[in-house]
Amino acid sequence: MRNVRGLAATTAAGIAVLMMAGCAPKTQPTDDRAAGTPLPAAYAGVEELPEKLAADGTTIVVGDPAAATTVRLYEDPRCPVVEEFEATGAPALREMTLRREAKTEYTFASFRDDRAGGDGSKRAVNALRAALDAGKFTEYHTVLFENMAENELAGGYTTTSLLELAGQVEGLRSETFDSAVATMKYKDFVTASEKTYEAAGGDDPRGPGTPTVAINGTQIKGVLYDWLFEKESFDRLLDSAHN
């Protein structure tokens, strides 16, 4: 587990740095809401969150399209550091998304298969794409990462484990979904997503690492990176970008 002690003492300075980097346009309106316009009612649960595939064909967008804060998130379903993030900082992002204050743009990597062996990351990314078609991406994403520990090693997720986990999401299992998971229907999406992830690494062809988080276009790194793994600190970063 990452050491996040002492974060509170440097929160104010770190937030100031983030804002100077361009992450917090305090008075800039969203695309179709004037500044100061009250937000619509919050979503009652993750099952109500809008989710869609962006025009680039590899980005999955979750949340109110007009949300003022955009969080770009790169994840590999077999990365243990992503598992840590999902259990610690990610709940802050989920709450902000439910309040319509943020939306998340997901790009999924699958490099862990090459490094750890097996094809579990690829199979999981394919299944997540199938869940999007079923309108259950957000719910299935939550279930996958809650059960990642037993699916990380020995090749990672399998068709059997992915379908069993899908059974925990009401309404997800169907002949169409099951077939898409078993046949790797979205293998082209898996390959394209990995290439998009690698391109985000700039001079490093291996990609930026997972999780990588950017808030309104500014990547969180350096001392701020540890804040992603502590809900209160990550919440402050998100709030500084929103207000």
- pLDDT mean by block of 10 residues, the chain; 243 residues: 46 44 34 63 95 98 96 96 95 96 97 91 97 98 88 78 96 98 98 97 90 96 94 91 72
Domain ranges of the chain: 10-16+48-242
Are the C-beta atoms of 217 and 23 separated by less than 8 Å? Answer: yes
pLDDT of 215 reads: 96
**Predicted structure pTM score:** 0.86
| Sign of the torsion angle spanned by Cα atoms 127, 146, 231, 226 | negative
Are the C-beta atoms of 96 and 69 separated by less than 8 Å? Answer: yes
In whole angstroms, what is the distance from residue 49 CA to residue 228 CA? 22
Fold of 10-16+48-242: Glutaredoxin (3.40.30)
pLDDT of 239 reads: 87
pLDDT of 59 reads: 98
Number of H-type helices and E-type strands within the chain: 10, 6
